[in-house]
């Protein structure tokens, strides 16, 4: 699966389904708490991989590297390492 294919299928999962914990309803907070272990990997993907993406042309520029930004090749490598299913 290519990185672009992954993005199309994954569809910003954590944000699209509001799993980032900002809900104010008590029932929603309980549901999130019950499923926190299932949500955790998606939160990691969102915050540590997808939120760090930058243009591939910028990925090796010093200021981007220092800021912890990732190009698509590094993002895909991290996803493969994390999941083992994107080979």
* Overall number of domains in the chain: 1
Q: Three-state SS for 21?
A: coil
- Rounded to whole angstroms, the Cα distance separating 4 from 54 reads 14
Question: Which residues are paired to 72 by β-bridges?
Answer: none
Q: Using an 8 Å Cβ cutoff, are 71 and 4 in contact? A: no
What residue numbers bound the domain in which 65 lies?
3-83
What the block records as the tokens of 32 is 């999130």
pTM for this structure?
A: 0.74
Give 6-51 pLDDT, tens digit per residue.
Answer: 888 888 888 888 887 776 688 888 888 899 898 888 889 999 999 9
CB atoms within 10 A of CB 15: 13
């Amino acid at each position: 699966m290519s990185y672009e294919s992954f993005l199309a299928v994954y569809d910003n999962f954590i944000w699209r389904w509001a799993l980032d914990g900002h809900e104010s309803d008590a029932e929603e907070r309980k549901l999130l708490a019950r499923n926190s272990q299932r949500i955790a990997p998606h939160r990691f993907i969102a915050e540590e991989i997808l939120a760090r993406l930058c243009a591939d042309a910028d990925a090796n520029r010093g200021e981007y590297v220092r800021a912890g930004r990732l190009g698509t090749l590094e993002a895909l490598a991290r996803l493969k390492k994390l999941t083992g299913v994107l080979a």
